[in-house]
Structure 1
Amino acid sequence: MSDVVDPTAVPSGTGCTECDAAGGWWVHLRRCAKCGHIGCCDDSLARHASAHWRATGHPIIQSFEPGEDWFWNYDTDQYYDGPELADPQSHPADETVPGPRGRVPGDWMRQLQQRAD
């Protein structure tokens, strides 16, 4: 398990690392179970969590949403039974979804629909 999960790795922050750096926004957040990188989900425009997997080979993520504790394995495209990871377990519960507050454009749903088309 230690080759794909490190239960002691702390999250890289409370939002998507790359979106925060670029002033962007996300739909949901995912946490790399190996190194703690926080990236945006594949429903987000940038899909930074799966880009992190492709760049690093770290296949296991956990939801970084309040009240969710599921894991996903990108390599097998299946849920994964992972251990409890280091705190915090999610982004702040008072943060908006999508988020972060103040950076989500008013037409965010249209932007996501255009990407899907």
Structure 2
Amino acid sequence: MNPKSCNHLQAIDQIKSGAGVCEECVKTGDEWVHLRTCQTCGVTLCCDSSTNRHARAHHEETEHAVIASAEPNEYWAYCYNDNLYKKFKPE
């Protein structure tokens, strides 16, 4: 995990927080496992462990590269394009 090799992660100084629900799962009445917030537009969606994988679908549709955990006490971001993580210090 070397964030220096990923310009997308280097550009992020602070994690954007999002909603406490997957906005797409709420529309369909589905459940999710974990939540991720897009660091480009701020939408919160479900993770790859969830049935619908809305965060990944959002990345594939929009090409927004970086998501961050929207889970309490988790401070990391992930770049889909470079398959790298970056840890952040709690605020």
Residue 30 (structure 1) aligned to one of 25, 36, 41: 36
Partner of 1:79: 85
Q: Identity across aligned pairs (percent)?
A: 38
- The within-5 A match list for 1:1-117 is 11=18, 13-80=19-86
Residue 9 of structure 1: how far off its partner (Å): 6.1
Query: Could you state the TM-score of these two structures normalised by the residue count of structure 1?
Result: 0.60
State the alpha-carbon separation in 2 of the partners of residues 73 and 52 from structure 1: 13
State the alpha-carbon separation in 2 of the partners of residues 83 and 60 from structure 1: 17
Check 1:19–1:64 CA distance in 2 against 1; reply closer, same or farther (3 A cut): same
> What secondary structure, in the 3-state scheme, does the structure 1 residue paired with 2:85 have?
strand
> What secondary structure, in the 3-state scheme, does the structure 1 residue paired with 2:42 have?
coil
State the alpha-carbon separation in 2 of the partners of residues 68 and 9 from structure 1: 12
Cα-to-partner distance string for 1:59-115 (whole Å, 9 max, x where unaligned): 10000000001000000011136798xxxx9xxxxxxxxxxxxxxxxxxxxxxxxxx
Over 4 Å off, 4+ runs: 7-10, 81-84
Residue 8 of structure 1: how far off its partner (Å): 9.1
Asked if the contact 2:36/2:70 (under 8 Å) is kept, the reply is yes
Residue 14 of structure 1: how far off its partner (Å): 1.9
Asked if the contact 1:27/1:41 (under 8 Å) is kept, the reply is yes
Greater CA radius of gyration, 1 or 2? Answer: 1
Count of equivalent residues? 82
Q: Which runs of 5+ in 2 are unaligned?
A: 1-7
State the alpha-carbon separation in 1 of the partners of residues 76 and 15 from structure 2: 17
CA-atom RMSD, angstroms? 2.6
